[in-house]
Amino acid sequence: MTHLDSEVKEERLRDDLKFYFMNPCEKYRARHQIPWKLGLQILKIVMVTTQLVRFGLGNQLVVTFKEENIVSFKHLFLKGYSGVDEDDYSCSIYTEEDAYESIFFTINQYHRLKNISLAPLDYGENEEKRIGLKICKQYYKKGTTFSSNESLTIDSDVEIGCVHLDLQALLNGPEDWKQLPFFKLEFYRLLQVEISFHLKGIDLQAIQSRELPDCYVFRNKITFDNKAHSGKIKIYFDSDANIEECRALNISGSIQKNTQYVLLFDASVIAICLASLILCTRSIVLALRLRKRLENFFLEKYKRRVCDVDQWEFISGWYVLVIISDLMTIIGSILKMEITVKNLTNYDLCSILLGTSTLFVWIGVIRYLGYFQAYNVLILTMQASLPKVLRFCACAGMIYLGYTFCGWIVLGPYHEKYPGFPLKCCFFP
Amino acid sequence: MTHLDSEVKEERLRDDLKFYFMNPCEKYRARHQIPWKLGLQILKIVMVTTQLVRFGLGNQLVVTFKEENIVSFKHLFLKGYSGVDEDDYSCSIYTEEDAYESIFFTINQYHRLKNISLAPLDYGENEEKRIGLKICKQYYKKGTTFSSNESLTIDSDVEIGCVHLDLQALLNGPEDWKQLPFFKLEFYRLLQVEISFHLKGIDLQAIQSRELPDCYVFRNKITFDNKAHSGKIKIYFDSDANIEECRALNISGSIQKNTQYVLLFDASVIAICLASLILCTRSIVLALRLRKRLENFFLEKYKRRVCDVDQWEFISGWYVLVIISDLMTIIGSILKMEITVKNLTNYDLCSILLGTSTLFVWIGVIRYLGYFQAYNVLILTMQASLPKVLRFCACAGMIYLGYTFCGWIVLGPYHEKYPGFPLKCCFFP
Amino acid sequence: MTHLDSEVKEERLRDDLKFYFMNPCEKYRARHQIPWKLGLQILKIVMVTTQLVRFGLGNQLVVTFKEENIVSFKHLFLKGYSGVDEDDYSCSIYTEEDAYESIFFTINQYHRLKNISLAPLDYGENEEKRIGLKICKQYYKKGTTFSSNESLTIDSDVEIGCVHLDLQALLNGPEDWKQLPFFKLEFYRLLQVEISFHLKGIDLQAIQSRELPDCYVFRNKITFDNKAHSGKIKIYFDSDANIEECRALNISGSIQKNTQYVLLFDASVIAICLASLILCTRSIVLALRLRKRLENFFLEKYKRRVCDVDQWEFISGWYVLVIISDLMTIIGSILKMEITVKNLTNYDLCSILLGTSTLFVWIGVIRYLGYFQAYNVLILTMQASLPKVLRFCACAGMIYLGYTFCGWIVLGPYHEKYPGFPLKCCFFP
Amino acid sequence: MTHLDSEVKEERLRDDLKFYFMNPCEKYRARHQIPWKLGLQILKIVMVTTQLVRFGLGNQLVVTFKEENIVSFKHLFLKGYSGVDEDDYSCSIYTEEDAYESIFFTINQYHRLKNISLAPLDYGENEEKRIGLKICKQYYKKGTTFSSNESLTIDSDVEIGCVHLDLQALLNGPEDWKQLPFFKLEFYRLLQVEISFHLKGIDLQAIQSRELPDCYVFRNKITFDNKAHSGKIKIYFDSDANIEECRALNISGSIQKNTQYVLLFDASVIAICLASLILCTRSIVLALRLRKRLENFFLEKYKRRVCDVDQWEFISGWYVLVIISDLMTIIGSILKMEITVKNLTNYDLCSILLGTSTLFVWIGVIRYLGYFQAYNVLILTMQASLPKVLRFCACAGMIYLGYTFCGWIVLGPYHEKYPGFPLKCCFFP
């Protein structure tokens, strides 16, 4: 009787195991089990991709707005800006006259800003709560000029001197500031001049897509870099754009209508991901329970443990992938909803979460391709030949590394086409 | 007797079938049947290609004329146009002064047009039957300026205001129009300014090739786009060129001589295509009749139907291809004749019909290559390996799609080289 | 006896045949025959290549001189020339004012030429033996202007009007010529304006390499092309440089020293080629005689003819190649000597002869590679697979041709990247 | 007894030989010998690479400084320099006026240098111990101008005339020098004008990295090249920068602190390389001793010599490589230390030594990869197929050479895209 019972138990376990390793199609044929999980995954792919594309398009508007503002600033504040950056700096100057003119041009453009700018810009307060320009210069502490009879005397300690040009003073008075002793630059000991100022902007474009506009603070910094003392001053323009709360903004007219639909869509994405999360967790739990039964059966019948490799067969990597992807989508969607209602402005984290989760969802599609016989063979062949390929790559890489190091040192300086640093051409060819 | 009769019938059917599946060379050897269809196809290829090349060369003249006119307009009406478009817009401006100057430059150039243009241009009437410029601006309904103490008040509803500058007023009076309140642009609430005007041109080049010239109406529209409010106004130049009847054109001298030869050639192409159409239709009809005989024979002798695959062998895909190609050539040639005598100006439809039909005719040449043994093997091998390749592509495509979506969202905004939308780099790399 | 005699004869024939098909190495081992031909070929390669390189370097100086002169002319005579040609024309203009200014600029620069040019240029006589500018315009016979109320009247016949501005008149008087009715251009019926003038130059650079300098006549023609009547006048600059005898040239100092060495070298190349020519001809004659003996032997013994394929084995393609190459080198070298002593200026024919012959000489080297076993296998394998590859290419080419024809007509006009004519992208990708 | 002794000896020799051909891993298992050499090599790779990267970064600063100075000079001294070199020359001029202006511009900029330059430059003494400009012109000895009636008379001998413009004269007086007869250039017989001057500079940037700055002498030479007499004068700018002792330099403040750490690091690299050198030499000595024993054994037992190939197995190529690399590193490091303390400025030799040695060290890593079975197979396969590939390349190269020679001569002059010299496109594609 126990024997028979054991036989029945064994038969049932065998059936359950066979069923466990079936694909959705076979499961449906075997027990008429409808593949809910498969359907849910397909629905999820569609919704997650739609959400990502919509978010991406919105995000791109934000980025484009920032970039276009920076291009405008370069045209407004840099004298002789050609529209294209040279190398990593925006432009370069070679004579003392140009240096003074470029600096004074920036200052003058700043105080005329309201009359020349096409964007709805406003002066912003800087870190010290003052509205105006902050101009700093770095220079070697002291030194006497370098003439044919005299020697050059330099104190290697670096000093920093700053001057604040308040907007009010610029707007009222004449160009008195040009007479400041600060603007007497001794280029042979000057390291760099930094002009920094804050501007406030508003992304009015959002109004057209029926959304509340974001307000921006642009922390601009123009650097005249003379550190190399090679006769060429490089002008850098850095702009750090931050989204801030729009305090004194007053928008009338028909706005803020489709926000709720967006929120609803995001909520439904969360719901689907939750469902998928629960189903996959359940599958893993069931699989672990089946493994437990198998282990017990082995202990009972053969008095030995199931081998490790077989045990791992029960924890499906695909389910783990789906679970991670679902968790990321849920967190990302919540973040996105917060961004939509303007509680947060953390676009970057949100885009990383949503982007990575979508990547995982699409990779998950490969699992279903594994059910096709022909494709499976392909994957197995690739797996087998991988180690050899990797080993060969490692070796080639080693010679290449040696070669680039050598080439960089020996050829680099005399051949301008040779890249600055060899690793650069390894990883970013 | 019936048996013998049936045997004779069977023998004859077998002969006919064997003959049906022969290639032209074997047919000639077997029954000395001269391959008329083959000869006709070769003649057709030559004639259709000649027709296409001639039509293409003529078509290109038309397109070049339109393009050169548009380039000329950009040089005439856009201030500081460099000769090369930036991105999808023609040029861009960054200061209020430039904006006003660009707009006024366009207006001034328009009224001086007769004195500066090198082309035989004339002012055209716009949709409202007026000759002159129509300038429209879009702006947010109301708003007060954005100053440090004040708040920004914007009504999100968009209004459009237009002004007509009649040519007569421009030619007679001084530059009074500059004082119009319309030209007081408040850039912080301005969305865009559109200047539109119509010009009439004539493609005199056609006279030299002894053809009647086409008359054109250019619907030009210059758009100063400030929708982004980023401090950068993009200037778009759109020109819509339509061929219209030349009413008041008076051409004397020796013209319109070779049109009849062109028409004659087109007519002979139509004749050949008709012949080819008839021969191919006849072949299909004969093939269907042969199939009927075969079916009857099978029913009589073996009491069963011919299997589906064998039935399809009788409808040659090549003949269908030739028939479609012939029909398209005939319609295209009739269109081309109408265009030649200036009854129609529908170049686009005509070029699609003629182009596609020529493509089909050339593809038809492969059929004759199939008669070579070696080549046939190649085709069969390719057919066999196709499904695996397709399946692999599908999988790789899926991963690639996921990767591009993810990359676009995560990397896109911070890396200017990354393409705007991933699908763009899938399909138009 | 006859039998024995015949056997001896057969033995000798067999020996001679075996020897004939040996390679130089084996020949040396068999009969200690020193491979004169091989040595001669190696010597020839060295000398012919040296000669070609020397000639090429000299030729390049000539071409560079012509090109630099043309670039200089463009900078001198074309207003606003940027240094780089647009498309196939040099620059383009868009307004009537620019057109007049460009034409007048050219005329003024011509008469100031002696004061501005850096090269030792002189005015040359044109075809009509006059020194000065010849300005021609093509225009439609008559026509009235194109105004909003009026119709356009054009006579399609083309007239040409010319005016000569003699240098003397230009140098003496004021700018009276600007008032000429000729310079009243009616652009709506103007087809093109051509300004042509001749200049004399001298390639003084040759003096430095101790050679006699060449004198040049530059036939310059500036074309203002308005044939398209699209509002864009394209300016073409054509310069036809011819080497002519330097009549009034007087060079003192130490010159013309190394010409004799060059001539000596060329003569020795001719001598070597003659030797090679004679040896190869002798080899062919001997081979033919051997073939004759073989034929006779076959007729005698087996009463049948040697089959055709075997007969052709005796006429070595390599010898034919060497003979052709030698003949070309000899003719080319004679031409080169004539050029060196300035009797001829036919650089082009000479470079084609010498270049092609050198190509043949180098290809001849492959023959000696055929003696290596491994390489021979490679060649045979390639020969075997050639027909299949060719057939495949033919088919692919056919589809490609159809595709490009279709694409050109259907896509071409609307996509500026698509090449002007499909065959262009087939053969010059 | 001797037999037994001999057997023991044989056994020991066999053991030693087996041990000798083991890899480090097996050696450790066999005799628990810790792989010191392997550890030392790994440490060496890390240290040598670190040293090279540090040296390379420092070297790059030097090169960048030189290059930026040259760019600055071009902007200061060349009129109308666009920022990008045309071809191998910097800019080009086409009229006499431009030629004079360019020369005078350079002279004026030189005497205003102190007021315009942004770099701490000083005038330097030239070879003749004078401070100022040296202007030389080359011209044909005599000649009369080339006019329509007259002949051109040229003496082919070249004369050189120079003039010194002392700085003091330039600074004090008016522009009298423009009236010098020297500046009456007769362009038809002018070959070239050379303006040369010396400038002193100082690489102050080094102060920031707490090092003593280098002093530079820039030997600048501006060449106006009219040798071609084609109407285009090419302007070359050559600058020869030499590091010299800073005589009158006086640097106070906190400097020269981290030099000792650099020296310490270099010393430890030398120590490690010495250790590696000694270990490898010892290994080779031991191997040679083992070979001696083997030879003796063979002579004793089999009365014959060991075959040559087997003998070479004992001299490991890897050890030789390591020894060469070590020697180079040691010499390079000593040089580097001298450079650090400013006794030497021989950057080039040092970078070649260090670079090549690092390349060898990295190539040495392949040796350890040879211990993996799979990789070994790969290497053996490649070795086997090498000769065939080489032979094929030789043949293809021969045809290609012939082709390029021919193409260069025949096509070159008429097709500007064809490279100047065929070998250029062979070796530097």
Among A346, A341, A353, A361, residue whose Cα is nearest residue A262: A341
Instruction: Characterize D152-171 residue by residue with b for buried, 16 or more Cβ atoms within 10 angstroms of its Cβ, and e for exposed.
Output: bbbbbeeeeeeeebebeebe
Residue A225 has which token pair? 């870099």
Q: What is the pLDDT of residues C373-419, one digit of tens each?
A: 555 555 666 666 666 666 666 666 766 766 666 666 665 555 444 44
Cβ–Cβ gap B409/A375 under 8 Å: no
D-contacting residues in A 134-193 (Cβ below 8 Å): 140-141, 146-148, 150-158, 187-188
Cβ–Cβ gap B154/A69 under 8 Å: no
Q: Beta partners for D134? A: D164, D196
Say yes or no to pLDDT of C252 above 50: yes
Whether D163 and D193 have beta carbons less than 8 Å apart is answered as no
Each of the 429 residues of chain D gets a pLDDT tens digit; together they read: 466 677 787 888 888 878 777 777 777 777 777 777 788 888 998 898 888 888 877 777 888 888 899 999 999 999 989 888 888 899 999 999 999 999 999 999 998 898 899 988 888 888 888 888 999 999 888 766 555 455 667 777 888 999 998 888 777 767 778 888 888 888 888 999 999 999 988 888 877 776 778 888 999 999 999 998 999 999 999 998 888 777 766 666 655 556 788 889 999 999 999 999 998 898 889 888 888 888 888 888 877 776 665 666 677 777 888 899 999 999 999 998 888 877 777 777 888 888 888 888 877 776 766 665 555 555 666 666 666 666 666 666 766 766 666 666 665 555 444 444 433 333 333
d(CA A337, CA A267): 8
Which of A404-413, B35-44, D370-379: highest mean pLDDT?
A: B35-44
When pLDDT is averaged across residues B185-200 and rounded to a whole number, the result is 91
Size of interface A-B (CB pairs under 8 A): 169
Which region among A186-200, B52-66, B345-359, B388-402 has the lowest average model confidence (pLDDT)? B388-402
pLDDT computed for residue A391 by the predictor: 64
In three state form, how does the secondary structure of chain B look?
Answer: CHHHHHHHHHHHHHHHHHHHCCCHHHHHHHHCCCCHHHHHHHHHHHHHHHHHHHHHHHHHHHHHHHHHHHHHHHHHHCCCCCCCCECCECEEECEHHHHHHHHHHHHHHHHCHHHHECCCCEEECCCCCCCEEEEEEEEECCEECCCCCCCEEEECCEEEEEEEEEHHHHHHCCCHHHHCHHHCCCCCCEEEEEEEEEEEEECCHHHHCCCCCCEEEEEEEEEEECCCCCCCEEEEEEEEEEEECCCCEEEECCCCCCHHHHHHHHHHHHHHHHHHHHHHHHHHHHHHHHHHHHHHHHHHHCCCCCCHHHHHCCCCHHHHHHHHHHHHHHHHHHHHHHHHCCCCCCHHHHHHHHHHHHHHHHHCHHHHHCCCHHHHHHHHHHHHHHHHHHHHHHHHHHHHHHHHHHHHHHCHHHCCCCCCCHHHHHHCC
When pLDDT is averaged across residues A388-406 and rounded to a whole number, the result is 67
Enumerate neighbours of A (3 or more CB pairs within 8 A).
Answer: B, D
Amino acid, res. C129: K
Which region among A320-324, B389-393, C253-257, D139-143 has the lowest average model confidence (pLDDT)? C253-257
d(CA C20, CA A395): 52
Q: Return left, alpha or beta for D256; rule: phi > 0 is left, psi -120 to 50 is alpha, else beta.
A: left
Instruction: Characterize B365-398 residue by residue with b for buried, 16 or more Cβ atoms within 10 angstroms of its Cβ, and e for exposed.
Output: bbbbbeeeeebeeeeeeeeeeeeeeeeeeebeeb
Q: Residue B422 burial by CB count (10 A; 0-12/13-18/19+): exposed, middle or buried?
A: buried
List the domain boundaries for chain B.
Answer: 1-34, 36-58+257-371, 78-244, 375-428
Using CA of residue D43, residue D49, residue D52, residue D57, what is the dihedral sign?
A: negative
Enumerate neighbours of B (3 or more CB pairs within 8 A).
Answer: A, C
C185, closest residue in chain B (CA to CA): B118
Q: Beta partners for A140? A: A158
Say yes or no to pLDDT of B425 above 70: no
Give Cβ neighbours of residue C193 (< 8 Å, ≥ 6 apart): C103, C135, C136, C137, C185, C223, C224, C226
Whether B58 and A82 have beta carbons less than 8 Å apart is answered as no
d(CA C425, CA C107): 41
Say yes or no to pLDDT of C420 above 50: no
Distances (CA, A) of B94 to B230, B234, B236: 9, 9, 15
Say yes or no to pLDDT of A405 above 80: no
A42 touches chain B (CB under 8 A): no
Mean pLDDT over the full length of chain B: 79
Q: Side by side, which strands form the sheet with D152-155?
A: C249-252, D152-155, D143-144
At D144, phi and psi to the nearest 5? -115, 155
Whether A367 and A318 have beta carbons less than 8 Å apart is answered as yes
pLDDT computed for residue D151 by the predictor: 64
Q: What is the pLDDT of residues A44-58, one digit of tens each?
A: 988 988 888 888 777
Cβ–Cβ gap C402/B63 under 8 Å: no
- For C207, what's the count of Cα atoms within 13 Å in the CB-facing half-sphere? 25
Cβ–Cβ gap A229/D203 under 8 Å: yes
Instruction: Name the DSSP letter for residue A181.
Output: G
Unique residue bearing structure tokens 């590679």: C369
D313 against A78, higher pLDDT: A78
Q: How far is A221 from chain D (nearest CA, A)?
A: 22
Residue A264 has which token pair? 């609803």
Whether C357 and C329 have beta carbons less than 8 Å apart is answered as yes
Among A235, C423, A123, C394, residue whose Cα is nearest residue B52: C423
Instruction: Name the DSSP letter for residue C246.
Output: -
Q: How far is B207 from chain C (nearest CA, A)?
A: 6
pLDDT computed for residue D402 by the predictor: 66
pLDDT computed for residue A421 by the predictor: 41
pLDDT computed for residue C257 by the predictor: 59
B360, closest residue in chain C (CA to CA): C402
Give Cβ neighbours of residue C282 (< 8 Å, ≥ 6 apart): none
Whether A99 and A224 have beta carbons less than 8 Å apart is answered as yes
pLDDT band at C316 (very low <50, low <70, confident <90, very high): confident
β strands within D40-151, DSSP E: 91-93, 122-124, 132-140, 143-144
Which of A115-124, A281-290, C31-40, D233-242: highest mean pLDDT?
A: D233-242
The three-class DSSP label of residue A218 is: strand
pLDDT band at C369 (very low <50, low <70, confident <90, very high): low
Say yes or no to pLDDT of A387 above 70: no
Whether A214 and A204 have beta carbons less than 8 Å apart is answered as no
Interface test with B, best of C405, C415, C426 (most B CBs within 10 A): C405
Interface test with A, best of B88, B140, B151, B229 (most A CBs within 10 A): B229
Say yes or no to pLDDT of B135 above 90: yes
Provide the residue count of chain A: 429
Unique residue bearing structure tokens 């020109």: B239
Which region among A33-42, A264-273, B141-150, C359-368 has the lowest average model confidence (pLDDT)? B141-150
D118 touches chain A (CB under 8 A): yes
Residue C23 has which token pair? 């390679």
pLDDT computed for residue A329 by the predictor: 93
Q: How far is C232 from chain B (nearest CA, A)?
A: 6
Cβ–Cβ gap B392/A372 under 8 Å: no
d(CA A122, CA A126): 13
Say yes or no to pLDDT of A359 above 70: yes
Cβ–Cβ gap C230/B119 under 8 Å: yes
Say yes or no to pLDDT of B92 above 90: yes
Q: What is the pLDDT of residues C175-226, one digit of tens each?
A: 778 888 888 888 888 999 999 999 988 888 877 776 778 888 999 999 999 9
Say yes or no to pLDDT of A374 above 60: no
d(CA A137, CA A227): 11
Whether A213 and A251 have beta carbons less than 8 Å apart is answered as yes
B124, closest residue in chain C (CA to CA): C148
